[in-house]
A and B are shown apart, each in its own frame.
Chain A
Amino acid sequence: MEIKKPAMAGTLESSDAQVTVEPGNGKIELSLESSVMNQYGRQIKDTVLETLDRLGVTSARVTMVDKGALDCTIKARVECAVFRSCDASESNIPWGGAIK
């Protein structure tokens, strides 16, 4: 998917993560802030990158502020932000396909 415009999903509540995606310049630039950075920073980064990869996003600036979200929440927030940026978040989501 192509990131067409800036979009955001998620909140700054505990156990949640706020993800912002913006159009990139040919690569993925990830900026990550997390309340559990020392113990989970690498795993969080992997989850974000895998999710973007599954969605076929190859160019984006991604900012994530994590408040201790579980992986399932991180995925959901990244996916929602990407679909929102393409105005495609409301219907015909590929559940079980690109979303898994």
Chain B
Amino acid sequence: MIPRPRPERFRLRRTMMFMNAQKPGLIKDAYIYGCDSIMLDLEDAVAENQKDAARFSLYHALKTIDYGDTEVIVRINGLDTPHWQEDIRVCVAGGADGIRIAKCESAKDVLTVEAAVEKAEEEFGVEKGRTLLMAALESPKGILNAYEICAASSRMFGVAISGGDFRKCMQTTPQRDGIDMVTARGLMLIAARAAGVQCFDTVFTNLDDNEGFEAEVRQNKAMGFDGKSLINPKQIRLVHQLFAPTEKEVIQAEKIVRAVRENAAKGLGVFTVDGKMIDIAFLPGAERTLRLARACGMYEGDLV
């Protein structure tokens, strides 16, 4: 058995790659592609009559495979199915880092899952509060309740929009400029930021359309998403490339972090860096840039 460290609620999650939990050839080493998080799927990817087999397969994968620094999240079946309770038991028993709640529509859904998780943590002797949660918003109601969902539990680290179902509800289809989901993405982002959790965009399913994918990832970054869900390892590189800070941003962030720390020691709250007014409020952003830079192999210093 491979003991996994306690999951970090806030960590780098640029890329979350979906993997069918029922396919041994896929899940045995999905971490080699370098995504930040792996999303082992018990929901849509697994046929209705193979849900049981997928759980056995998932349990042993979680217990046997050394995923290293890659985060391991499991997408469980919806609360309207007979599967979700056993899904939660196996996730907690196996030691998954987090659970993705499918089709989440309200804070109550989060609390329902949280209660089951807590019960399972007790049953399997897992540290209480270890298992993190995230919610997938797949309906208009989910989007409108985004804030209460994000703020429902201290286990919540983020929300993701699930484009396929959402677009169906909205009677639209993927558009080149993203107009089909711009409002939903915006609302969800605002809610996530207000609640202090992360926010992830939906998958891009046309693997042959490199241009469209790139345009969407650029828009994601511009809107302020933390990361994106992916369906194929070959999508990872581009997301990491486009989410990487520029060299200039890294240098600036380094200066800010240094200056804030030095001036704090002197008792100064407001000061200038390269002629720009800086205060303590710039610190979290600068530190995030440096962490991102480190993950991208652009920063080797010791400030973060």
Contacts and interface: CB of A to CB of B under 8 A. Distances in A.
**Same assembly:** yes
Interface of A: 9-10, 13-16, 69-73, 75-77, 79-80, 83-84, 89-93, 95-96, 99-100
Contact of A96 (B25, B28, B93): B93
Contact of A80 (B52, B61, B63): B52
B111 interface: no
Given A15-B28, A76-B57, A95 B52 contact: no
Contact of A95 (B82, B85, B94): B94
A91 B56 CA distance: 11
A62 to B, nearest CB: 16
Contacts of B63: 72, 100
A93 B57 contact: no
Given A84-B52, A95-B94, A73 B57 contact: yes
A93 B60 contact: no
B89 A14 contact: no
Contact of A91 (B25, B59, B86): B86
A83 B55 CA distance: 12
B52 A75 contact: no
Interface string B49-93: 001110111011101110000000000000000110110011001
B24 interface: yes
Contacts of A14: 25
B124 interface: yes
A90 B86 contact: yes
A78 to B, nearest CB: 9
B86 A70 contact: no
A10 to B, nearest CB: 7
Contacts of B85: 91
Contact of B53 (A70, A80, A91, A99): A80
Given A72-B65, A89-B52, A90-B52, A95 B24 contact: no
A70 B28 contact: yes
A85 B202 CA distance: 39
A10 B56 CA distance: 11
Contacts of B90: 93, 95
B33 to A, nearest CB: 17
A15 B24 contact: yes
Contact of A10 (B25, B53, B65, B89): B53
B53 A72 contact: no
11 contacts: A9-B53, A16-B23, A69-B24, A70-B24, A72-B64, A75-B56, A77-B57, A90-B51, A93-B56, A93-B89, A99-B56
A69 B28 CA distance: 10
A76 B24 CA distance: 10
Contacts of B124: 95-96
Listed residue (A72, A92, A95) with the most chain B CB atoms within 10 angstroms of its CB: A95
Contacts of A71: 64
Interface centre among A15, A72, A89 (most CB of B within 10 A): A72
